[in-house]
């Protein structure tokens, strides 16, 4: 089948750690599954360390069948941090996966400075293909939001809107009015939002991994969106804070179990529709003549096994641009398995 396209991630963000003495960090508390995790802000991590961790994540994505991904900035807090993230993403592109970079404006940077200084600099250096905007009525009014989006469009960026995180707002209407390629984070949309998306070319990007990890009972209304005629895509929203998964197989399983999508709908949303959400549908997302040979071979006899075996990696082989980039390793008796480094002398297995 086609390789998965993960159309919304935060691949390069703060480095997670369980050691709070490691320097200034943002502590994550009272969230299911985090266990007192701390996130070292980007400004306290070297470019080399951020790149090294991102490459480890990409290796995991490849093993789980992802062949193209979008990666957003936004966690850099200041201009230096944002540029650091985007430079790392540039190094990761085609090594070996296609990494589509998106600039997500941090709320800590004044909007006027972002529009007149930071975005033009990013555009000149070719560091982002999309400009994303996190619409929050408590931070920005509609006039400010439109100013940012019009400035981004004027520079040649395609637009993406984050909406629906914290209750009802006007983000979906903003995305449709501005002809954004996608509206993301749609857990709290209502019927009017569903109708708006159904009548538009804006793709609804759903992120069930965040709702699952945060223990939320409310998921995006995928069934209503699809029945109304909206185009729906799926993504992991990979980030160490709210969705620390890079398995698109798990996202497909959640879409079927929690959002009433059929396996066919979920797989399409995780491949071709996801490619459409990042403007890559002419190259990836389906197996067709003239497209990049991005595909995966599964240890399964039926595609419906993907959502059935939730939390199980079924990928046997991952192929990117016609080249095998991952093949399942051997499992066998101890004498047949390559030996790793010796165990620490202070540890004993029993």
Q: Are 75 and 10 within 8 A, CB to CB?
A: yes
Rounded Cα distance, 350 and 339, in Å: 19
| CA 136 vs CA 82, 167, 236, 274: distances in Å | 20, 10, 22, 25
pLDDT (tens digit per residue) in 79-110 = 999 999 999 999 999 999 999 999 998 888 89
DSSP designation for 168: -
pLDDT string in tens for the chain (350-residue length): 999 999 999 999 877 766 554 555 565 554 554 555 666 778 888 999 999 999 999 999 999 999 999 999 998 888 999 999 999 999 999 999 999 999 998 888 899 999 999 999 999 999 999 999 998 877 788 899 999 999 999 999 999 999 865 445 589 999 999 999 999 999 989 999 999 999 999 999 999 999 999 999 899 999 999 999 999 999 999 998 889 999 999 999 999 999 999 999 999 999 999 999 999 999 999 999 999 999 999 999 999 999 999 999 999 999 999 999 999 988 878 776 666 665 444 444 43
Cβ neighbours of residue 269 under 8 Å, at least 6 residues apart? 206, 232, 233, 234, 255, 261
DSSP 3-state assignment of 125? Answer: coil
Q: Give the Cβ contact number of residue 306 at 10 Å.
A: 26
pLDDT (tens digit per residue) in 68-86 = 999 999 988 889 999 999 9
In this structure, the strands spanning 158-162 and 182-184 are parallel
Say what the pTM is.
Answer: 0.90
Rounded Cα distance, 175 and 200, in Å: 10
- Which pLDDT value is given to residue 345? 45
In this structure, the strands spanning 98-104 and 130-134 are parallel
**Residue 217: Cβ-neighbour burial (10 angstroms; 0-12, 13-18, 19+):** exposed
Cβ neighbours of residue 181 under 8 Å, at least 6 residues apart? 130, 158, 159, 160, 202, 203, 277, 278, 279
SS3 content of the chain, % helix, strand, coil (to 5): 35, 20, 45
- Which pLDDT value is given to residue 68? 98
Rounded Cα distance, 71 and 49, in Å: 17
**Residue 90: Cβ-neighbour burial (10 angstroms; 0-12, 13-18, 19+):** middle
- Which pLDDT value is given to residue 164? 61
Rounded Cα distance, 155 and 279, in Å: 17
Bridge partners of residue 38, in order along the sequence: 17, 27
In total, the chain counts a number of residues equal to 350
CA proximity to 205, closest of 310, 87, 102: 102
Cβ neighbours of residue 135 under 8 Å, at least 6 residues apart? 145, 161, 162, 163, 169, 170, 171, 174
**Residue 32: Cβ-neighbour burial (10 angstroms; 0-12, 13-18, 19+):** exposed
Q: What's the gap between Cα 109 and its chain centre?
A: 23
* Ordered structural domains, the chain, with CATH: 4-18+25-327 (3.20.20.140)
């Amino acid at each position: 089948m086609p390789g998965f396209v993960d159309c919304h991630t935060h691949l390069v963000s703060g480095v997670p750690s369980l050691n709070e003495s490691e320097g200034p960090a943002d502590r994550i508390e009272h969230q299911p599954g985090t266990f007192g995790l701390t996130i070292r802000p980007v400004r306290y991590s070297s470019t080399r360390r951020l790149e090294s961790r991102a490459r480890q994540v990409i290796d995991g994505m490849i093993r789980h069948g992802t062949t193209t991904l979008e990666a957003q900035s936004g966690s850099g807090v200041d201009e230096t941090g944002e540029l650091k993230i985007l430079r790392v993403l540039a190094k990761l592109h085609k090594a070996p996966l296609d990494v589509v970079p998106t600039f997500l404006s941090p709320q800590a940077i004044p909007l006027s400075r972002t529009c007149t200084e930071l975005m033009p600099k990013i555009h000149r250096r070719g560091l982002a293909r999309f400009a994303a905007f996190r619409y929050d009525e408590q931070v920005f009014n509609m006039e400010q939001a439109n100013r940012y989006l019009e400035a981004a469009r004027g520079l040649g960026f395609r637009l993406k809107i984050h909406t629906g995180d914290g209750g009802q707002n006007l983000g979906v209407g903003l995305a449709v009015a501005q002809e954004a390629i996608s509206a993301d984070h749609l857990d709290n949309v209502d019927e009017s939002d569903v109708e708006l998306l159904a009548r538009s070319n804006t793709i609804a990007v759903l992120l069930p991994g965040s709702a699952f990890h945060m223990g939320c009972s409310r998921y995006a209304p995928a069934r209503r969106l699809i029945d109304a005629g909206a185009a729906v895509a799926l993504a992991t929203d990979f980030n160490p804070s709210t969705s620390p998964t890079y398995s698109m197989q798990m996202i497909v399983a959640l879409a079927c179990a929690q959002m009433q999508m059929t396996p066919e709908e979920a797989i399409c949303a995780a491949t071709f529709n996801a490619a459409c959400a990042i403007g890559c549908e002419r190259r990836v997302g389906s197996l067709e003549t003239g497209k990049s040979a991005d595909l995966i071979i599964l240890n399964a006899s039926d595609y419906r096994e993907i959502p059935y075996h939730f939390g199980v990696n079924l990928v046997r082989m991952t192929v990117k641009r016609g080249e095998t980039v991952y093949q399942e390793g051997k499992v066998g008796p101890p004498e047949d398995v390559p030996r790793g480094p010796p165990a620490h002398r202070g540890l004993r297995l029993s």
